[in-house]
Structure 1
Amino acid sequence: MTDVAAAWAEALQRFDWLPSWGQSLILLGGAVSVALIVHALGVALVRRVVKQGDVFWRSLVSRTRRPARLALVLLAISLVSPLLPLREELAALLRQGLHIGMVITIGWGSLVALDIAAALHLRKYRIDIADNLIARKHLTQVRILRRAAATLIIVFTIAFALMTISGFRQWGVSLLAAGGAAGIIVGLALQPLLTNLIAGIQIALTQPIRIDDAVIVENEWGQIEEITATYVVVRLWDLRRMVLPLTWFIQNPFQNWTRDSATLIGSVFFYLDYAAPIEAMREKLEAIVRPSPLWDGDVMVLQVTDLRERVVEVRCLASARNGGDAFDLRCAIREQMIAWLKAEHPEALPRDRITVAAQPVP
């Protein structure tokens, strides 16, 4: 390294006739040019090595190209900075800029490394298959934790960058340690963000919800479409979107229809006359459900579940692979059973009976 610096100093002596700012531009331009050439040669070499390799490694080289280029440029400038004929104030300003640039480069590289690690983990799982419970579990965990970690990396990068500036060092310390008046102000300003960040970590670890879960929230049925660092997007059955903060799912009760399995049991209730043919209805239910592609082959039951003053309550149960199939199967049972009762057993439909007492003829 000393030999390189000596070579740069000897080369710079040939431009003694230039003013100091001109010498500085030549030295900085040469350093940056060398850094860019080294970066280009390195990227070309690495691309040639991984050209026939895995897609992940090719994307890794592509995504780390810019952070690596910035790091090499900053390194080159820092190596030649002691040789620059600058006043002390300008030299201090340059060192300050190099420190901030290096902190930003490290933060940038950390974010890229985080995205690559998340992508590498998710490549093991497929969500476009029927039995995707494990895949949705890992997808939810990785997305929430990645966003939480990215938020922390950004906060720490800003804090360390502020700590390199003497006039703002206390702000950086306060942002990290939450101490002093500045720390209190920052803490109050970031309270909603931090609350949702902690809630996101809870959801990622305990997983009360996952991507593509079927849920009922605020008396609306929908599916979890997106989980961000601060909110959850629920795609409702009519294609509306409900946006809820992460803390809502920690603090409020809700229904998750696919918590452990996507399989659901759909129920259909009929209120019929006491003359309803129960055994014939069981046979009709089997005739409706068994050939249906919506039925998963597990549960199919018809029972009288209640007796009321004028009607009997008949409940039909049929299972399906997911909530959407269960809803469609319930509708099919209602439509076909009612049509069959009207056509074959109209006496089973609810009706009021009136008894007329005969009066003796005087």
Structure 2
Amino acid sequence: MTAWSLLRIAAVAVCAMLVAFVINRTAEVLARRLAARRPESAPLSLLHRCRRPFILTVGSSLMLAGEGWAAFPPVPEGMIRHALVLLCLAACAWLAARLVAFLIDTSVRFSVRRRDASQLRRARTQAGMLRRVSQAAIAVITLGAMLMTFPAVRTLGTSLLASAGLIGVIAGVAAQSTLGNVFAGIQMAFGDMVRIGDTVVVAGEWGTVEEITLTYVVVATWDQRRIVMPVSYFAGRPFENWSRNDSRITGTALLHLDHSTPVDALRAEFDKLLADTDLWDGEGSALQVVDTTPSTIVVRALMTARDAGDAFALRCLVREKLITYLREEHPHALPRLRMT
């Protein structure tokens, strides 16, 4: 290879990257001007996400286009051109994945106009599932296109195509569990069974859905543990979703008290306590005697809250304050063990 050939190769590479950089800077300037006029516009965010894959795509495409003029060395024959083709395909796939993810996120942001927590969680869950499915499809298509650039693979593909039915059956049986989880994940996201941020009770554990993928769901429990469960669990077994339509929930607190308890005074103190706390949402409340035993009565306090976290805190507060009130004002109302 002569020095002139090396110089032309270097010139093609430098020019390709320089053109890509100039195009990127021009697009950035235009996006910043548009963002200054319309702060809600999305081009600047799109540019930040797609800068690297865009530069790599333009650069590799220009290098591939200038390959003839650069006179790459013929030995080994076609290796450099083949490498540029693979690089261009990978860069295009990277750029396509970023564009698809941006379009999905933008559509979610503009479709959820009002501040509805339930609608927002549903949109986030479906967008995450669409993003993963589309990226997996782009990766599979790109891998197939890259493999088909090898002559040996194209020759092998003709024979494999004849036995594609048998291979598909074998692959389906071998990946039955994985495919079941994938389809269950799609069904769960678009069937609106559970969404990111929902409060659920699964397998006796209370927690919040933190992540939903194609194959598993991560539930964050109240004590900061993470339960990773297959998606098929939610599609095939019953579970509790406390915030599917509305995050409001009713909390209960049970008190075992003496038969001489002044229930009316206790009810008045309960109403006063709810009025003084922000944990109660003001929707509903009740204090009732729901059961009796030979030695005690069972008093149930019902109160509504905005979500499960507030309901738990309100239950603890009501239980503590009512017991304190009875101990200070009506100590005879506390349960006593009678010896006969």
The TM-score normalised by the length of structure 2 is 0.83
CA, structure 1 residues 172+248, in 2 after alignment: closer, same or farther (shift >3 Å)? farther
Structure 1 range deviating more: 40-49 or 71-80: 71-80
* CA drift at 1:265: 0.6
User: Aligned to 1:262, what secondary structure does the other structure show?
Assistant: coil
State the AA in 2 paired with 1:53: L
User: Aligned to 2:77, what secondary structure does the other structure show?
Assistant: helix
Work out which of the residue numbers 243, 267, 271 in structure 2 matches 1:282: 267
Aligned 1:66-81 pairs, distance under 5 A: 66-81=52-67
CA, structure 1 residues 130+105, in 2 after alignment: closer, same or farther (shift >3 Å)? closer
* CA drift at 1:297: 0.6
Give structure 1 stretches of 5+ with no counterpart. 1-18, 356-362
Q: Which residue of 1 aligns with 2:252?
A: 267
Residue pair 1:161, 1:172 contacting (<8 A) in 2 also: no
How far apart in 2 are the matches of 1:131 and 1:242? 27
Q: Which residue of 2 aligns with 1:232?
A: 217
Q: Which residue of 2 aligns with 1:140?
A: 125
How far apart in 2 are the matches of 1:352 and 1:48? 81
Residue pair 1:148, 1:197 contacting (<8 A) in 2 also: no
CA, structure 1 residues 24+69, in 2 after alignment: closer, same or farther (shift >3 Å)? farther
CA, structure 1 residues 115+170, in 2 after alignment: closer, same or farther (shift >3 Å)? farther
User: Aligned to 1:239, what secondary structure does the other structure show?
Assistant: coil
* CA drift at 1:189: 6.3
CA RMSD of aligned residues (A): 3.4
Give structure 2 stretches of 5+ with no counterpart. 36-40
* CA drift at 1:138: 1.4
CA, structure 1 residues 232+312, in 2 after alignment: closer, same or farther (shift >3 Å)? same
Which has the larger Rg?
1
How far apart in 1 are the matches of 2:53 and 2:144? 20
CA, structure 1 residues 62+303, in 2 after alignment: closer, same or farther (shift >3 Å)? closer
Residue pair 2:19, 2:59 contacting (<8 A) in 1 also: no
User: Aligned to 1:51, what secondary structure does the other structure show?
Assistant: helix
The TM-score normalised by the length of structure 1 is 0.79
Is the aligned partner of 1:315 residue 2:305? no
* CA drift at 1:94: 4.4
Aligned length: 334
CA, structure 1 residues 328+130, in 2 after alignment: closer, same or farther (shift >3 Å)? farther
Identity of aligned residues (%): 34
Residue pair 2:64, 2:85 contacting (<8 A) in 1 also: no
CA, structure 1 residues 163+209, in 2 after alignment: closer, same or farther (shift >3 Å)? same
State the AA in 1 paired with 2:52: R
Work out which of the residue numbers 25, 31, 34 in structure 2 matches 1:53: 34
State the AA in 1 paired with 2:86: I
Residue pair 1:175, 1:183 contacting (<8 A) in 2 also: no
State the AA in 1 paired with 2:271: E
Structure 1 range deviating more: 262-271 or 33-42: 33-42
Structure 1 range deviating more: 205-214 or 190-199: 190-199
**Which protein has greater RCO, CA pairs closer than 8 Å, 6+ apart?**
2
Q: Deviations over 1:120-145 (max 9, x none)?
A: 23444899x98522222211221222
Aligned 1:33-182 pairs, distance under 5 A: 33-54=14-35, 56-82=42-68, 84=71, 87=74, 90-91=77-78, 93-124=79-110, 132-169=117-154, 179=164
CA, structure 1 residues 218+175, in 2 after alignment: closer, same or farther (shift >3 Å)? farther
How far apart in 1 are the matches of 2:160 and 2:208? 37
How far apart in 2 are the matches of 1:56 and 1:178? 47
Residue pair 2:200, 2:239 contacting (<8 A) in 1 also: yes
How far apart in 1 are the matches of 2:56 and 2:101? 19
Residue pair 1:126, 1:132 contacting (<8 A) in 2 also: no
Q: Which residue of 1 aligns with 2:329?
A: 344
State the AA in 2 paired with 1:214: T
CA, structure 1 residues 170+120, in 2 after alignment: closer, same or farther (shift >3 Å)? farther
User: Aligned to 1:64, what secondary structure does the other structure show?
Assistant: helix
Structure 1 range deviating more: 302-311 or 132-141: 302-311
Residue pair 1:234, 1:243 contacting (<8 A) in 2 also: yes
Is the aligned partner of 1:202 residue 2:214? no
